[in-house]
Structure 1
């Protein structure tokens, strides 16, 4: 674990791949130098040592330059350029030592595989084309090796053509399958990252639910005491005989009742039994109730546009009602002068759109809507985060966008089956 953390800290994937290429190039330099010296001095085959060693010097300089840039980000184009230098160096070495008749010509496949793993699709196929052309050219243009009679052999043009075709076909198949497998691995990693992100968000929700339910339990007792005390005050002659004082006490009792209702909703959303049976209602009545509740305390006008068609029975979902209330609150706090809730049925999917004429979302927020502590409000605003997770538990989705005429639109889509009332005989 410690090694992987340190590995990530050194830079991005491009720089790590660059370091792997440097290590592979060191091996290639050492292998080529050993082969050149062994063939020239061990087998007695005269090679053009000066240009071949100069080519190795180019690879050595490329490696030193790569070490100098260590830790910097490497783009696909830069990686492609580096592999082209490697292919060019190998081509020069093969040209000076027999061309396509040299058995080391298959080292082109190593460059093709590396390109298929590290490069984007167009770069990988470009590398296949260049190595195939280089192979064909080396079959025609090269410096013949002055082999001893015991080692000399003649390869027919037909054999060389078949060898080239074999190389090209192998390169195409390698790139086709390796790139597909690499894409599958990337998709899997992205899926695992999304699962980990969702698990982290759900853990965050669980923690908030525990805090909220704990606070709801703690606040229940003092609110009940205040309700009893206000009931006693209401019976006092001094208060009962004063219309103003009696009205103020009644208003306080109403507000305490409202607080208790909110706390009951918090406990219900947290999954705790409150002793209340599920509320049977209809879809239209449920949405109208959410709108009316917010209108009673909301600072801006809220309009309800229903295109639901025939009404249908459902079980009132307090979590969904709270999610809609949070979206109304967010719109009001974003400077909206008016808010609209539009409801429509799209087959089995219930679509709810909350539109406003406020400031809208920042462009950098639109890609992260629904993540915790991502809001246009300074306080962090968990409204969209909570709404996203409510929709997720109901099997739905939430999307947000800015409207062309100004303001924002948040669209909630969920299967109506998640709210449907199951009839029993």
Structure 2
């Protein structure tokens, strides 16, 4: 299963609801109406109030039409959102043209539609909308009515001041859009990576449950199947001389054992694991061996050793997240190792630690500080034994996230020993292991 992360990924699943845009426009309409009425009726400034009210009415009518003809929870595609935001830029530009152009203090609001686009639309739509807004701002430098002011008093604004306002508007528009885009993009990538983590964990839980219950079911099915086989043989041997009562008793026994088999199989189909503690608990050595086993057939020597102190070896429940997280790191180590991978298990009264080291090229220096972030960038150098699969930050992020959910701390670095490459250290407080075992 692949999860796309990047500038164009994920926008189809994050479409804005129509009600979000209409509610925002109602807020803007109320603000515009309040400003026009205050300037025209309270301050008594000379301004084309009728034309301004007409432009505000157009926005209100379009909002009413959208609310009337479309459901509020309708998800708009990027083109629809872009069209509505473009209208907002044009409508605001019309109001500014009637009220002083860029000399109007509200001219900075031209950046708002672009900021909304940066947070919700793919970059190409935001770039196009920004160009439209910059073009409109440039046009407003030369095409506009005078700034509303006291009657019979003409307010002259120097061109250098207007140029400064243009630069201010454009700067606000560009820097705000870039900032919001970066923040929203980080949230999108994190959401995608967490979604991938949840799906992987869910799959591992189902696989784990099926494995454990299959082992229990195989054990439990042995007795009823043996009974059925024995009764069937006796029926076959004694069928001629058996009485009706004896036949009924044997058939009743056959049915009870068949029902027992059906119940066991039902539990397998529903992945119920409540009663399978005896197959879901592992010692630390058994846990590591289960993680390592699938990777021993790739020509890389995997050495696992324990250096625990005199305390009892840790044991806990078989948690799919831990199995997958450690398995991901072991797989990467095998993928990039030249000859061997060393796994060291250590424990004390306070901590439990697993160290995974390979003799490969190590992590790429340019990404060493970003390890564990959900980025689609290579986290290893190109000198690798296997060219297919692995090597991207998303897998490391998923593994790290799954392990940290169990209380572990994960450290990824290049080993300081000359003969070793990458090093992954996973450490739990002993109390976390005991809590997981409960």
TM-score (structure 1 length as normaliser): 0.50
Q: TM-score, normalised by structure 2?
A: 0.48
Larger radius of gyration: 1
